[in-house]
Amino acid sequence: MITRHRFRKITNAVMLTLTGLCALVAVGAMLAILGFLVWKGAGSLNWDFFTKLPAPVGEPGGGMANAIVGTGKLLLIASLIGLPIGFLSGVYLSEFGGRPMSFLIRYVTDLLSGVPSIVIGIFAYAMVVVPMKSFSTLAGGFALGVMMIPIAVRGTEESLRTVPPNLREASVALGASRTTTILRVVIPAAFRGILTAMMLALARVAGETAPLLFTAFGNNDWSPGWTHPIASLPVMIYNYAISPFRDWHRQAWAAGLVLLVLVLLTNIAARLLFMGRAAEAER
C-alpha cells in the first residue's frame, strides 16, 4: 500500500512535469522561429532591400521593393473582395438570417474555410487566369480575397452577437428601421470586434504563398496596372529559398523577417484591440 502510494505520487510528479515540458517546447518553438529569423535576417536587411529591384543572378545586392509593393497591391484587391462580402454576410447571419438559409450559409462558410489554400489557387486559376489568359494581380487578389471571406464572416457574426438584444429593441422602439438600427446602433457597438476580425483576416492571407503561385505568379520587375504577373513577398521567399544561390538565401531570410514582423504585428495589434474591448466591457 505504501509503495503503491509512492508510485502514484511519483507518477503525478513525472506526468505534471512532462506536460510542463510540452508547453515549454511549444513556446520554445515560437521563440526559436523568431530568434532564427532575427539572427539570419537582420544582417541582410538594409535600405536597398526596401528600395531596389531584385538584382540579376550573379550580381550581388538588389532588394525586393517590387515584392513589397506587390504584396500591398494584392492585399488591397483581396480586401476589396473579401471584406465587404464577409462583413455583409456576417451581418446577414447575425441580424436577418432565417433558419434554413443561415444554416446553409454557415455550413458553406465553414466548408470554404477548410479548403486547402493550394486548391483555392486552382480555383482562382480557373476563374480568372484562364479567361484573362494571363497571370495577374487580379487573379492573386481574388484567391486571397476568397480566403479572407470565412474569417471575416465568422468574426463579424460573433462580434455582432455580443451586442445585447435590448439595444436593438430600444432603437426599434424609437421608430428606427432595422437598417438604421444596424448602421447606427449595432455596428458601432461591435466595431472593435469587427475590426479585429478584419485585421486577423488580413494577417492570415498576407503570408499565403500557395494560392499565389499560379495566379499572381511572380515578377522580377515592377508590375504596371492590375493585369500583369506581380511579385509578392511570400512567393519571393519561396523562390529564393529553393534557389542554389547563397546571396538569394540571404535575401530570403531578410524577406522572411519582414513578412513575419508584418504578420505578427498585425496579429498582436488585432488582439490588443480585442482585449481592450474586453477590458472596456468589464468596467
Partner 1 sequence: MSSPGIGRVPIVRASARATEAGAVPEAPPRIEVSHLNFYYGSKQALFDISLQLPTNRLTALIGPSGCGKSTFLRTLNRMYETQRHTRIEGEILLDGENILGMDVVALRRKVGMVFQKPNPFPKSIFENVAYGLRINGYEGKLSDAVERSLRRAALWDEVKDQLQKSAHALSGGQQQRVCIARALAVNPEVLLLDEPCSALDPVSTAKVEELLFELKESCTVVMVTHNMQQAARVSELTAFLLDGHLIEYNPTPQLFTTPSDPRTEAYITGRFG
Partner 2 sequence: MATAAHPAAPQVRSHAHPPGFFRSFRNRLRKLIGTDWLGYVLSLVAAVLILAITTALVWQLWTQSALSRAKFGWGFLVGRTWSPLFEHLGALPFIYGTVVTSVIALLIAVPLGLGAAIFLAELAPPRASSWLAFLIDLLAAVPSVIYGLLGIFVMVPFLRQVVDPALKRTLGFLPLFQGPIYGVGLLAGGLVLAIMVVPFIISVSREVLLAVPRDQREGALALGATRWEATWGAVVPFARTGIYGSIFLALARALGETMAITMVIGNDPKIRASLFAPGASIAAVLANEFVEATTPTYISALIELGLVLFCLTIVLNGLARLLILATSRRGGAPA
Q: For the segment 31-50, give every residue that binds partner 1 (CB under 8 A).
A: none
Q: How far apart are CA 35 and CA 41, in angstroms?
A: 10
- Quick note: the x/- pattern for partner 2 over 181-210, rule CB under 8 A, is -xx-------------------xx-xxxxx
Contact 192, 273 (CB under 8 A): yes
SS3 assignment, position 54: strand
Candidate ranges 4-12, 51-59, 93-101, 110-118; the one touching partner 1 (CB under 8 A): 4-12
Contact status: 33 vs partner 2 (CB under 8 A): yes
**Closest by Cα among 187, 225, 253, 205 to 39:** 253
Contact status: 117 vs partner 2 (CB under 8 A): yes
Among 42, 76, 96, 170, binds partner 2 (CB under 8 A): 96
Contact 140, 231 (CB under 8 A): no
Question: Distance from CA of residue 57 to its chain's centroid?
Answer: 32
Contact status: 14 vs partner 1 (CB under 8 A): no
Among 136, 171, 217, 274, binds partner 2 (CB under 8 A): 217
Q: For residue 160, how many C-alpha atoms fall within 13 Å in the half-sphere facing its CB?
A: 24
Contact 147, 162 (CB under 8 A): no
Give the contacts of 142 (CB within 8 A, at least 6 positions apart). Answer: 77, 78, 81, 124, 127, 128, 215
Q: How far apart are CA 133 and CA 140, in angstroms?
A: 14
Candidate ranges 44-52, 54-62, 64-72, 248-256; the one touching partner 2 (CB under 8 A): 248-256
Contact status: 5 vs partner 1 (CB under 8 A): yes
Q: Which does 226 bind (CB under 5 to 8 A by kind): partner 1, partner 2, none?
A: none
Contact status: 114 vs partner 2 (CB under 8 A): yes
Count of residues engaged in binding partner 1, rule: CB under 8 A? 5
Q: Which does 206 bind (CB under 5 to 8 A by kind): partner 1, partner 2, none?
A: partner 2
Q: How far apart are CA 60 and CA 249, in angstroms?
A: 12
Contact status: 80 vs partner 2 (CB under 8 A): no
SS3 assignment, position 62: strand
* Minimal distance, residue 193 CB to partner 2, in Å: 16
Contact status: 260 vs partner 2 (CB under 8 A): yes
* Minimal distance, residue 2 CB to partner 1, in Å: 10
Unique residue bearing C-alpha cell 484562364: 130
Give the interface with partner 1 as residue ranges (CB under 8 A): 1, 4-5, 8-9
